[in-house]
Amino acid sequence: MSDSPFKSKGGLGRLFNALRYSGQGLAAALRHEAAFRQELALAVVLTPLAFWLGQTPAEILIAYFAAQGAEDQLQDLCDYIRSRYPHLPIVLDAKRGDVGSTAEQYAREAFERYRADAVTVSPYMGFDSVEPYLEHKDKGVIVLCRTSNPGGSDLQFMEMADGTPLYLHVASLVAEKWNTNGQCALVVGATFPDEIGRVRARIGDMPLLVPGIGAQGGDVVATVAAGMD
């Protein structure tokens, strides 16, 4: 049997040809195979995720998937986390805020389609915008309170009739009236440790989701000290 004309006689030449043919095959798969592109996209997300996941909740920002039309990939990611890291709660960072049947559909999206364990919501349309999420009794509802962005002060520091800042009014409202099933938490940014302390004093041992460590400038030590109940 004659040797293949594509097989190099030399060791290094043969290795070079193998690498070249493999590269050409990968390039062709990327161009022509949609399934391969999807698998590659998932690998890009899941490989670093596998090294990062530990004991903390997996917080997923839905906007980055929705903007790319990648809701199916988000669903795959949630399925992957549940199957490989079943002890980790999945927090869908959506910051939804709407009323009526629209809020009901957003709740179904979070808890039925993606099967998230918790979702972030905005309270600024009132209780009826949050109630559809609370009807899922075994799920967490994380309400925006004092957010980590500078512009949050535009509204959250506005005073109620009794002089209470709006963010503290939200904290009290959630703790005293909305959290009847013990499923609520609040978002309070690490960039405002003083406010974390004030919120903690209002809500007791209710959980806090605290963004803002790192690039936004939040301090870990100050945050932990302020957030201890």
Active site residues: 95
Structure tokens at 179: 């959290």
Nearest-angstrom CA–CA distance, 141 and 185: 6
The torsion angles phi and psi of 173, rounded to 5 degrees, stand at: -60, -45
Residue 125: which H helix or E strand, with range?
none
Nearest-angstrom CA–CA distance, 197 and 177: 21
Structure tokens at 3: 């040797």
Contacts 24+ apart (CB under 8 A), 75-83: 75/113, 75/114, 76/42, 77/42, 77/45, 77/46, 77/49, 78/114, 78/115, 78/116, 80/42, 80/46, 81/49, 81/53, 82/115
Structure tokens at 223: 């945050």
Nearest-angstrom CA–CA distance, 158 and 36: 51
Nearest-angstrom CA–CA distance, 196 and 87: 27
Nearest-angstrom CA–CA distance, 209 and 108: 22
Strands 58-61 and 90-96: parallel
